[in-house]
Amino acid sequence: MLAIYKKELRSYLFGMMGCVIAVVMLAIAGFFIVNVNVNSASAHFEYSTYFLVDYFVLVITIPFITMRSIAEERRSKTEQLLFSLPVPMYKIVLAKYFASLTVVAAPLAVCAVYPLILKLFDTAGVMSLAAAYNALLMVALLAAAMTAIGVFASSLVENQIIAALITVAIFLLLYFMSSIAAAFPTSATASMVTLVAASAVLGGIVLAATKNSTAACIATGVPAALCIALFIYDRTLFAGLVPDILYSIDFFALCSSSTIYGVFDLRAVVYYVTVAALFVFVTVQMMQRRRYN
């Protein structure tokens, strides 16, 4: 696993993509810090960190890092080497994931020096290092989850550009989740129909991933039947249900709120770690599926 991790990291650095993205992220972070903490004389480092999320910096940069992760192996047929190595599939995916995450997190690690520098000039003693590092931690966790999504998208196709576009599309969908929730009808029927439709989509995904029609039918039928049964039993359960779900899993909101308010939010930690683990797991399954098809 370590060998693959080192090879990936080396490839990012010597292939320039990692360096370019790191420089871009650092430049943008530096710009925010200069504007927020220097020019505006704000003692809140977390504000400038928040802008990394709010101004699409991660949304734009992470796909460029993750797009080649697995797609390039498929395109160049080197995945056969990985498959033939005495290394379990989950270690291959983890190595690739952590290599991508290292490249994503490296600029954030450099940014970790900035609060200390700012603290040197904090003569009024109003700057909170805890809030600053909490903000960096939250952004790092968000980036970890986004990287897992990016690596997953890279496992779907062999064209890097398409992998990047898929990643950006997923990120934008997640970014505007609260807007979608706000625009969504709150009626019980709309929620029920949406959940049944979501069950059908889930079945489609299962079918595409496993080619097993029985599993797909179960993945569609069970939740759909459950929804319909519950709807018949008590339709008020469904009133505003989908918007509520969307609000509660709002991907970027947890990071934004805990960053900007300087609050360590355990829910965010659990959420992002879970999302990262889930997408790494799904990526492993996608890679395994490649061996079966």
Q: Which residues bind other proteins (CB under 8 A)?
A: 2-4, 6-7, 10-11, 14-15, 76-81, 83-88, 211, 288, 291-293
Closer to other proteins by CB, 39 or 84: give it: 84
3-state secondary structure of 183: helix
Closer to other proteins by CB, 119 or 290: give it: 290
3-state helix, strand, coil in the chain (%, to 5): 80, 0, 20
Cα separation, 279 vs 261, whole angstroms: 28
Tokens of 240: 């505003």
Cα→Cα distances 2→5, 68, 100, 150, 239, Å: 5, 19, 14, 21, 50
CB of 73 to other proteins, least distance (A): 9
The closest alpha carbon to 142, from 32, 259, 4, belongs to 259
Cα separation, 94 vs 180, whole angstroms: 33
Cα separation, 241 vs 256, whole angstroms: 23
Closer to other proteins by CB, 100 or 128: give it: 100
CB of 160 to other proteins, least distance (A): 14
Helices 213-233 and 188-210, packing angle to 10 deg: 170
CB of 159 to other proteins, least distance (A): 18
What b-and-e string marks burial along 176-189, b requiring 16 or more CB atoms within 10 Å of the CB? ebbeebeebeeebe
CB of 85 to other proteins, least distance (A): 5
Closer to other proteins by CB, 84 or 123: give it: 84
Closer to other proteins by CB, 65 or 141: give it: 65
Closer to other proteins by CB, 77 or 233: give it: 77
CB of 74 to other proteins, least distance (A): 11
CB of 214 to other proteins, least distance (A): 16
Cα→Cα distances 171→84, 210, 250, 265, Å: 33, 25, 11, 21
Closer to other proteins by CB, 98 or 271: give it: 98
CB of 81 to other proteins, least distance (A): 4
